[in-house]
Amino acid sequence: MRRIGLTVVLILSLSLVPLAVEAQQSGKVYRVGVIHQGGSYGAVIQGLREGLGELGFEERKHFVLDVRNTKGNLRDVEEAARDLVRARVDLLYTVPTSVSLAAKRATEDVPIVFCAGTDPVGLGLVESLAKPGGRLTGIHFLSTDLTAKRLEVLKELLPKARRIVTFYDPANPSSPW
């Protein structure tokens, strides 16, 4: 999770560099709305803070993170996104894919930097990885794409297993992937 956080920092910092230059000239502190589903994604947010600090961005001097933990409830994501837009954030950072999709649906103008574990092109977050187009950009880490490999490893670990049960939320748009 730390590597993912650092990768996101690089992408987010590219989005913030022009803002930071302007901030130094104007004294403006930029607001970044962060929406995640809780659990282990809290570590990604901590990595984001640390990485931005390593790049010379100081929290409360150059930027403020307005973090919303939706605790796995996708209905809360859209409300959190609308709330952050009303609070006039300059940028949204979303993790994981399902949160990014919900934030995209709930907003129209604010730029979004995402961290997606499911193919962002296939789900319509961006037009392509090389040229995302629109107001969304981010990274794709191999998470959902590794499901078949995880089952293969499980079969090697438990060769006598005949049935494997897995749970997923069919309402989550990234679940069928």
Q: Is residue 94 part of a domain?
A: yes
Mean pLDDT in the chain?
81
Q: Is residue 176 part of a domain?
A: no
CA gap 47, 86 in Å, rounded: 26
Q: Is residue 98 part of a domain?
A: yes
- Residue 64: predicted pLDDT: 95
Q: Is residue 14 part of a domain?
A: yes
Q: Is residue 171 part of a domain?
A: no
The boundaries of the domain holding residue 48 are 2-144
Q: What is the pTM of this model?
A: 0.71
Where is pLDDT greater, at 116 or 91? Answer: 91
Across residues 55-63, what is the average pLDDT? 93
Domain at 108, CATH number? 3.40.50.2300
Domain count, the chain: 1
- Residue 9: predicted pLDDT: 52
Q: Is residue 87 part of a domain?
A: yes
Where is pLDDT greater, at 150 or 170? Answer: 150
Q: Is residue 20 part of a domain?
A: yes
Q: Is residue 29 part of a domain?
A: yes
